[in-house]
Amino acid sequence: MAKMLTAHGRHLGRCVVQTAGLGRGAAMCRLHSSPVWCSTFDVKSDDYQYIHKSKIPTMHFQKSLLRLPIPALDKTCERYLRSQKVILSSEEYQRTEKFVTQFKEGIGATLQFQLKDIDKANKHTSYICGPWFDMYLSDRVPVVLNYNPFLAFHPEERPGLSDPVIRVTNTLVSSLRFMRSLRDSVLEPVVYHLNPAKSDTPMFRKIVRWTPSAISSYAAYAQKAFPLDMSQFGNMFNSTRIPKLGKDVLRTYPKARHMLIMKNGHFYVFDVLDKDGNILSPEHIHACVSYIYNDQTPPAKRSIAIFTTENRDTWAKCRDELVEAGNEAALDVLDAAAFNIVFDEAILGDDPIKTYHTFLHGDGNNRWFDKSFSLICTADSQLALNFEHGWGDGVAVMNYFTEITKDLANRPSINSDSRPAPIDASKLVRRLEFTLTPSLEAAIDKAHQSYEANTSALKCDVLEPQFFGKKLCKKNKLSPDALMQLGLQAAYYLQNGETVPTYESCSTAAFKHGRTETVRPATLETQAFCKAITQAQLPSHSELKKLMMECSKMHGNLTKEAAMGPRF
Same domain, 421 and 508: no
Look at residue 253 and tell me if it is in a domain: yes
- Which ranges of 425-523 does DSSP label H, i.e. alpha helix? 438-456, 470-475, 480-496
Look at residue 83 and tell me if it is in a domain: no
List CB contacts of 307: < 8 A, sequence separation 6 or more: 315, 318, 319, 443, 444, 447
Same domain, 532 and 396: no
Same domain, 200 and 268: yes
DSSP assignment string, 77-142: HHHHHHHHHTTS-HHHHHHHHHHHHHHHHTHHHHHHHHHHHHHHH-TTS-TTHHHHHHHHHH--S-
Single pTM value for the model: 0.90
User: Containing domain of residue 499, as a range?
Assistant: 471-568
Same domain, 395 and 539: no
How many CB atoms neighbour CB 292 within 10 A?
23
Query: Looking at residue 543, what is its pLDDT?
Result: 95
Query: Looking at residue 566, what is its pLDDT?
Result: 58
Same domain, 284 and 246: yes
Domain boundary among 456, 487, 507: 456
Look at residue 370 and tell me if it is in a domain: yes
Look at residue 501 and tell me if it is in a domain: yes
**Catalytic site includes residue 389:** yes
For residue 255, the domain's CATH number is: 3.30.559.70
Same domain, 563 and 535: yes
Backbone angles phi, psi at 114, to 5 degrees: -65, -40
Backbone angles phi, psi at 279, to 5 degrees: -70, 130
Q: At what angle do helices 524-533 and 480-496 cross, to 10 degrees?
A: 60
Same domain, 177 and 224: yes
Same domain, 245 and 339: yes
Task: Name the 3-class secondary structure at 263.
Answer: strand
Look at residue 116 and tell me if it is in a domain: no
Query: Looking at residue 9, what is its pLDDT?
Result: 42
Residue 464 and residue 357: Cα distance in Å, rounded?
A: 17
- List Cα–Cα distances, 18 to 15, 372, 410, in angstroms: 10, 26, 10
Same domain, 176 and 285: yes
Return the ∠ at Cα 159 (arms to 462 and 271), rounded to 5°. Answer: 90
Look at residue 465 and tell me if it is in a domain: no
Cα–chain-centroid distance for residue 236?
10
Query: Looking at residue 203, what is its pLDDT?
Result: 94
Q: Which of 286, 389, 513, 555 is catalytic?
A: 389
Same domain, 447 and 479: no
Helix (H) or strand (E) holding 552: helix 541-563
How many CB atoms neighbour CB 243 within 10 A?
24
Domain boundary among 456, 480, 496: 456
Look at residue 540 and tell me if it is in a domain: yes
Helix (H) or strand (E) holding 563: helix 541-563
Domain boundary among 399, 432, 456: 456
Look at residue 319 and tell me if it is in a domain: yes
For residue 549, the domain's CATH number is: 3.30.559.10
Same domain, 441 and 483: no
Measuring CA to CA, which residue among 311, 313, 322 is closest to residue 245?
A: 313
Strand partners, 282: none
Q: In total, how many domains does the chain have?
A: 2
Same domain, 430 and 519: no
Q: What is the 3-state secondary structure (H, E, C) of 186-250?
A: CCCCCEEECCHHHHCCHHHHHHHHCCCCCCHHHHHHCCCEEECCCHHHHHCCCEEEECCCCCCEE
Measuring CA to CA, which residue among 416, 343, 394, 354 is closest to residue 172?
A: 343
User: Which pLDDT tens digits describe the chain residue by residue (568 residues)?
Assistant: 344 444 444 333 333 333 333 333 333 333 333 445 555 668 989 999 999 999 999 999 999 999 999 999 999 999 999 999 999 999 999 999 999 999 999 999 999 999 999 999 999 999 999 999 999 999 999 999 999 999 999 999 999 999 999 999 999 999 999 999 999 999 999 999 999 999 999 999 999 999 999 999 999 999 999 999 999 999 999 999 999 999 999 999 999 999 999 999 999 999 999 999 999 999 999 999 999 999 999 999 999 999 999 999 999 999 999 999 999 999 999 999 999 999 999 999 999 999 999 999 999 999 999 999 999 999 999 999 999 999 998 899 999 999 999 999 999 999 999 989 999 999 999 999 999 999 999 999 999 999 999 999 999 998 888 888 889 999 999 999 999 999 999 999 999 999 999 999 999 999 999 999 999 999 999 999 999 999 999 999 999 999 999 999 999 999 999 988 655 4
Which 8-state DSSP code applies to residue 421? Answer: -
